[in-house]
Structure 1
C-alpha cells in the first residue's frame, strides 16, 4: 500500500469511527427545558475529547487493516483466494 492509499484508508476509517463515537456521553434534554434549544442538543458535546478518541481508535483499526493488507494471509494474488491461472 502506497502512502496516498494509506492516507485515504485512514481518513475513511477515521470518518466512520467519528460517527460511531459522537453519540458517546450524550443524553437528550428533558422535555420541560426552557433554554429554547433543540432537545437533542447535548449540554457539553466535548468535541475535542471525541476527536482525540476517534484518532486513537482509528489508528488502532488502521494498524490492523494495514497489517492485514500487507500480509500474505489475505491475498488475491496467491493462496486460496487467488483466481485460477489459465
Structure 2
C-alpha cells in the first residue's frame, strides 16, 4: 500500500468513525436539567466534549486502519477474491 493510498483509506475510516462517535453521550439542556441557552435549538447538546470524541475517533480509526493494512499488505484477502471488483491478475 502506498503512502497516499494509506492516508486516503485512513481519512475515510476516520470520518466514518467520527460520525459513529458523535452521538455518544450527547445530552440536551432539558435532559441535563439546565436552562436552555436563548437562540439555541432544543436539540443542541449541553457539553459536546468534542476533543474527547476526536481523540477516541483517532484511536479507533487507527486500530481499524491497522487491521485493513495488515489484511491488504499480507494479502490475507486478495483483491481478486472480492466478487464485484474486476480481476486484476488476469489480462485477457
Q: Which runs of 4+ in 1 moved over 4 A?
A: 82-86
RMSD: 2.4
Q: Is 1:39 the equivalent of 2:42?
A: yes
Q: Which runs of 5+ in 2 are unaligned?
A: none
1:53 to 56, 59, 67: 56
Distance 2:45 2:14 in 1: 22
2:30–2:36: 8 Å Cα contact kept in structure 1?
A: no
| TM, length-normalised to structure 1 | 0.81
1:68 to 60, 71, 77: 71
Q: How many residues align?
A: 83
Q: Which runs of 5+ in 1 are unaligned?
A: none
| TM, length-normalised to structure 2 | 0.76
